[in-house]
Amino acid sequence: MQPISCILILKFNQMKDVIIKEHIFNHSIDQVWKAISIGEEISNWFIPADFKAEKGYHYTFNSKGEDCSVITGEVKEASPYTLIYSWIVKDAPAETIVKWVLTPTSENTTKLYLEHSGISNYSGETAVAMFTSFDGGWNNCITKLTEYLMVNIHAG
Amino acid sequence: MQDKITKVLKAIADPTRREIFHVLVVAATALPITQVADQFSISRQGITKHLKTLEKADLIIISSKGRERYCYANAKSLEVVTQWMKFYEKFWDTKLDNLDNYLNSKS
């Protein structure tokens, strides 16, 4: 009983509404900003994107829908160096929010604060749709994309 | 399975139920319902209602022993809820690694 409960406490405490990632890049804030806010750049490392960092722009990630799901959303804020957009996975009709904030830490190093929130908005039928979407190609999607990027980086 | 996920999400959506559940998790043993109720300022009926919702979601198990009813936390049910978190934790880790590699390859 005891060990299981310990795991459970951990899980329960982690069951907050937010995923937070922080990362330091050895690049200038403008380089990082371009990489996360310009469609062509995003397509190079993240997901093939039709994206513009303009408030109200309806973006599409992975519009071809090959192997993995299409993601759409609306840009809520795009002012250097904060980028916020909604995140809607196709066939899982619920909305979460992705927020990127860049701050210069020293000359040519930049701190990224990434926040993905709103999971608790899922409820009822929507939650079901969201969870069943995991049975789709999402994991393949990530693996394939990573392979693709690795090949391209080494080729380039 | 789908029905179960809905029940779990509904059960943990309420802050009082989360607290009740937390009490049972921390106790790490079966607690009499009266003892659970003592820790909250809401009515015994209110507690019983919350416990039933948690039971329906399989988050807790209620059993009778003599005249007293006991409840305890059931670990497995939370897994469906943590799936989302696990998935996107991995997703963003992978993506940020990609971004790092990408920026390094450009300079």
DSSP string, B26-56: HH-S-EEHHHHHHTSSS-HHHHHHHHHHHHH
CATH code at position A25: 3.30.530.20
A131 and B5 in contact by Cβ < 8 A? yes
List of chain B residues whose C-beta atoms are within 8 Å of the C-beta of residue A147: none
Cα–Cα distance for residue pair A61/A89, rounded to 1 Å: 10
- Asked whether the ipTM of the predicted complex exceeds the cut of 0.90, the reply is no
Whether residue B28 has pLDDT greater than 70: yes
A8 touches chain B (CB under 8 A): yes
Is residue A11 one of the residues assigned to a domain? Answer: no
- Give the closest-approach CA distance of B57 to chain A in angstroms: 13
List of chain B residues whose C-beta atoms are within 8 Å of the C-beta of residue A114: 92, 96
Nearest to A110 by CA among B89, B107, B86: B107
Domain B2-75 in CATH 2.40.30.10: no
pLDDT score at A120: 58
pTM of the model: 0.60
A130 and B81 in contact by Cβ < 8 A? no
- For A14-68, the pLDDT digits (tens) are 445 678 899 999 999 999 999 999 999 999 898 889 999 999 999 999 866 655 6
- Residue-range definition of the domain harbouring residue A52: 17-155
**Quick one: closest CA in A to B99, which residue?**
A45
- Closest in B9, B22, B78 to A123, CB measured: B9
**Quick one: closest CA in A to B6, which residue?**
A124
* Contact criterion met (CB below 8 Å) for B92 and A21: yes
- For B38-88, the pLDDT digits (tens) are 999 999 999 999 999 999 988 899 999 888 899 988 866 555 556 666 778
Please report, rounded to a whole number, the percentage of residues in chain B having pLDDT higher than 70: 83
Is residue A96 one of the residues assigned to a domain? Answer: yes
